[in-house]
Chains A and B, each alone.
Chain A
Amino acid sequence: GQNIDQPTEMTATEGAIVQINCTYQTSGFNGLFWYQQHAGEAPTFLSYNVLDGLEEKGRFSSFLSRSKGYSYLLLKELQMKDSASYLCAVMDSNYQLIWGAGTKLIIKP
């Protein structure tokens, strides 16, 4: 079966750095996405990785290792507004998106 694993919840301090991990087992791989979802709102696109390595976008970076079936989202200089759920999704060989259950990130002052 296809599976995406990410921690259910994480807590971090304002101004700090946090890394949210995602591991996947899918039938094929056509890219990995990270979305941010504030409570009660729609997910919004954060990043896309299809090749191994680190993609940096401002305070957010996303890393991919295809051989390990592993990705992480790195958030720097955390702000209170970063409190949200972070969803990992993998596109399989049939171009279907497989979603993780999301990681709820709690930021404390």
Chain B
Amino acid sequence: SQTIHQWPATLVQPVGSPLSLECTVEGTSNPNLYWYRQAAGRGLQLLFYSVGIGQISSEVPQNLSASRPQDRQFILSSKKLLLSDSGFYLCAWSVLGPENEKLFFGSGTQLSVL
């Protein structure tokens, strides 16, 4: 069966510090991978998605970046965090099937930038 792992679960970082969040998927090949951010009272915001190794599409201009060094690994990074980067970050993968392209989410990372 397919599983998705995301870590860390919580993170408190000072403004200006770097960031690295990692996500790995097991049990599937060549998945579509996504990074979302969820702010309180707002809908999920798609940050990046990837359809294959080294293929990254950015949806929102920002100081974050993403990389996919391996088929089932997706990394979200920043060189210098801003206060506005605080939020709940979710990694997800999708499978196309009878129920369209439904998403399976990782457990999330609650990031607080202070």
Do chains A and B interact in one complex? yes
B43 and A43 within 8 A (CB): no
- A28-63 CB mask vs B (1 if < 8 Å, else 0) is 001101010000111111001010000000000000
B102–A42 touching, CB < 8 Å: no
Mark B residues whose CB is within 8 Å of A: 41-46, 90, 99-108, 110
Given contacts A40-B108, A87-B44, 20 further A-B contacts (CB under 8 A): A33-B100, A33-B102, A35-B103, A41-B108, A42-B106, A42-B107, A43-B103, A43-B105, A44-B105, A48-B100, A87-B43, A89-B44, A91-B100, A95-B101, A96-B46, A97-B46, A98-B43, A99-B45, A100-B43, A102-B43
Residues of B within 8 A of A35 (CB): 103
Q: B-contacting residues of A (Cβ < 8 Å)?
A: 4, 8, 30-31, 33, 35, 40-45, 48, 50, 87, 89, 91, 95-102
Contact A45 B100 (CB under 8 A): no
A35 CA / B92 CA spacing, docked (Å)? 13
CB distance from B26 to the nearest CB of A (A): 16
**Chain A residue at minimum C-beta to C-beta distance from B49:** A96
Contact of B100 among A4, A31, A42, A100 (CB under 8 A): A31
| B102 lies within 8 A of A45 (CB) | yes
A95 CA to B108 CA, complexed, in Å: 24
- Measured between alpha carbons, how far is A35 from B90 in the docked complex, in Å? 14
- Residues in A whose Cβ lies below 8 Å from that of B106: 42
Return chain A residues, CB-CB under 8 Å to B43.
4, 87, 89, 98-102
B87, chain A: closest CB distance, angstroms: 13
Given the known A-B contacts A33-B102, A48-B102, A91-B100, are A42 and B108 also in contact in the complex, defined by CB atoms under 8 Å?
Answer: yes
Contact A101 B107 (CB under 8 A): no
With A4-B43, A96-B46, A102-B43 already in contact, the answer to whether A42 and B101 are too (CB < 8 A) is: no
- Complex Cα distance, B28 from A9, in Å, reads 37
Name which residue of chain A comes closest to B9, CB basis: A40
Contacts of A42 in B (CB 8 A): 90, 105-108
B99 contacts which chain A residues (CB < 8 A)? Answer: 45, 48
